């Protein structure tokens, strides 16, 4: 008999699935004090939570039999996933259950923003009848720019097409073929920002997307643009949005999320051009039912040893294989991260080639690790289990192959990524006594430690090029830890790989790119 502990309110539809299971004992205890939770978790086989229960490392350590933790929702911020992984506990979530709910809420906010519905209602209940003050705009023939075309962004696009809007979207993984199937147009981030009448964001909140819409972005927008955020607080710089509305550049904003929640006496909420809701994107009966059902079904699969999905940490790997692959895990993930960060455009395919001692092993876990590293450049919810699924969902071809050519190394991993703009190949190895190294980039031999802040510079092999780069970085107080240069022909194309002590701001990278004989400058953060 499996004990399933439920510590946050869950939809009855999900709990009923567990009640019908003859091998499950349900224990519902909500609002547990931390000490009570530590005692109750000791003999639990599974734990089901929403956002209230804090599943800390201490809680996980107290569990003697715990096999799975289920989060009835998308985010797992209240769960110490690393602690769970270290103890072999599977953590699952329900990423699909609130897709329609959030998309519909976004569209409701879009219509309300266009027609000033909340403001008009407030005026009416004050006893006013001011029709001229609340003249809105039609959605028909207006351009909707969508930033982030995952599950929710795609559903928003479908609804916008039904309203005869001109829809274009930016997503690092969006290819022209997929855009055509959805019936929209692929665009660059700049085109979305510069040409849209309405802009809605549907990306995760990552280092790359934090304040993606900042003061510089607002400067590029059309006068009278309207902004929506029903995704994550922090994607839009709220201070910059405030200034853009006050200046008249932005006609209005619809916000379901904030950088700090609850937002309190936020200055944006004092503006008549802003409509807002208290993070209601997933707050429908159907969404609550869906996430509860999804997570309860998954918990049963895990407890019974059946196939499952939506895990947010490592899958089970035989101990012997895990021991052999462990030394390569960090190298594999960093090769994936390096390859995609160094390659512009929408990802179309990933090819992983193994050589040497790796050819005799099951390298599928390493390939998942490489995919996780590559996709994590733009996705915050990618993990070792769902990386392959997310790649397939976005039409990214993944190929794994093994060859006998060692090129002088006892082991070698080569990652080739192809985007709609270019191809990039990166090879890495483990050197005895020295650890992981990147040893080849696009055919250029090099020796780089895959760690920290790196600058990949493509240039012409001409006297003074290296010196000018070093001088400019020194002028701005950026210390170069190591520098490697690779070239094929004297005076021809070459690359520089610099390891620096801190991130290089965009304006300095732009200055580097303007130097004589410098062609491209890309920052890579490992």
CB 258 within 8 A of CB 233: yes
- Indicate which residue of 42, 138, 261, 393 is catalytic: 261
CA angle at 397 for the pair 393 and 399, rounded to the nearest 5°? 130
Measured distance CA(78)–CA(86) in Å, rounded = 17
| CB atoms closer than 10 angstroms to residue 236 | 29
Cα 54 from chain centre: 23
- Indicate which residue of 105, 143, 178, 232 is catalytic: 232
End-to-end CA, the chain: 45
Catalytic, 50? Answer no
Angular region, 307: left φ>0, alpha ψ -120 to 50, beta rest: beta
- Indicate which residue of 279, 424, 437, 459 is catalytic: 279
Measured distance CA(373)–CA(263) in Å, rounded = 34
Cα 271 from chain centre: 31
Catalytic, 232? Answer yes
CB 484 within 8 A of CB 446: yes
CA angle at 195 for the pair 514 and 217, rounded to the nearest 5°? 50
In angstroms, what CA-CA distances link 431 with 110, 261, 287, 334, 411?
A: 55, 48, 50, 16, 9
3-state DSSP helix/strand/coil % of the chain, to nearest 5: 35, 25, 40
Instruction: Tell me: cis bond preceding 507? Omega within 30 of 0 counts.
Output: no
Beta strands at 444-448 and 435-441: parallel, antiparallel or unpaired: antiparallel
Beta strands at 143-147 and 166-170: parallel, antiparallel or unpaired: parallel
Place of tokens 């270019």: 422
Question: Mind telling me the catalytic residues?
Answer: 232, 261, 279
């Amino acid at each position: 008999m499996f004990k399933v502990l439920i510590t946050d309110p869950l939809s009855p539809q999900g709990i009923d699935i567990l009640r019908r299971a003859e091998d499950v004992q349900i224990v519902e205890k909500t609002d547990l004090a931390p000490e009570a939770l530590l005692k109750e978790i000791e003999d639990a086989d599974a734990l089901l939570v929403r956002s209230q229960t804090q599943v800390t490392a201490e809680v996980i350590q107290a569990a003697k039999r715990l096999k799975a933790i289920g989060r009835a929702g998308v985010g797992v911020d209240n769960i110490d996933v690393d602690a769970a992984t270290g103890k072999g506990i599977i953590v699952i979530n329900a990423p699909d259950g609130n897709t329609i709910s959030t998309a519909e809420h976004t569209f409701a906010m879009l219509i309300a923003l266009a027609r000033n519905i909340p403001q008009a209602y407030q005026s009416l209940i004050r006893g006013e009848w001011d029709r001229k003050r609340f003249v809105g705009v039609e959605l028909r023939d207006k351009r909707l720019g969508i930033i982030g075309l995952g599950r929710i962004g795609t559903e928003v696009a479908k609804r916008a097409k039904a309203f005869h809007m001109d829809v274009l979207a930016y997503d690092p993984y969006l290819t022209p073929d997929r855009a055509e199937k959805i019936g929209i147009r692929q665009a660059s981030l700049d085109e979305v920002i510069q040409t849209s009448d309405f802009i809605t964001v549907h990306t995760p909140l990552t280092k790359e997307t934090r304040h993606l819409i900042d003061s510089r972005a607002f400067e590029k927008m059309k006068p009278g643009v309207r902004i929506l955020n029903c995704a994550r607080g922090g994607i839009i710089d709220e201070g910059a949005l405030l200034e853009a509305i006050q200046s008249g550049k932005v006609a209005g904003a619809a916000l379901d999320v904030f950088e700090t929640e609850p937002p309190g006496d936020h200055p944006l909420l004092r503006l008549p051009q802003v409509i807002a809701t208290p993070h209601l994107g997933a707050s429908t009966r159907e969404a609550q039912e869906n996430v509860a059902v999804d997570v309860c079904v998954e918990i049963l699969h895990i407890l019974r040893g059946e196939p499952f999905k939506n895990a947010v940490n490592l899958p089970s790997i035989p101990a012997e294989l895990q021991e052999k692959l462990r030394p390569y895990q960090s190298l594999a993930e960093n090769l994936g991260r390096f390859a995609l960060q160094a390659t512009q455009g929408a990802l179309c395919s990933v090819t992983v080639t193994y050589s040497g001692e790796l050819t005799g092993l099951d390298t599928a876990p390493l390939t998942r690790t490489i995919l996780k590293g590559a996709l994590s450049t733009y996705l915050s919810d990618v993990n070792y289990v769902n990386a392959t699924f997310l790649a397939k969902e976005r039409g990214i071809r993944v190929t794994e192959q093994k060859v006998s050519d060692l090129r002088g190394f006892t082991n070698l991993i080569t990652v080739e990524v192809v985007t709609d703009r270019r191809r990039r190949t990166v090879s890495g190895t483990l050197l005895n006594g020295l650890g992981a190294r990147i040893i080849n980039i696009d055919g250029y031999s090099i020796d780089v430690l895959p760690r920290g802040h790196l600058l990949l510079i493509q240039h012409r092999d001409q006297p003074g090029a290296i010196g000018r780069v070093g001088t400019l970085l020194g002028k701005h107080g950026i210390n170069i830890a190591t520098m490697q240069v690779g070239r094929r022909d004297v005076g021809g194309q070459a690359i520089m790989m610099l390891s620096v002590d801190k991130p290089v701001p965009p304006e300095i990278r732009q200055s580097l790119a303007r130097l004589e004989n410098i062609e491209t400058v890309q920052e890579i953060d490992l």
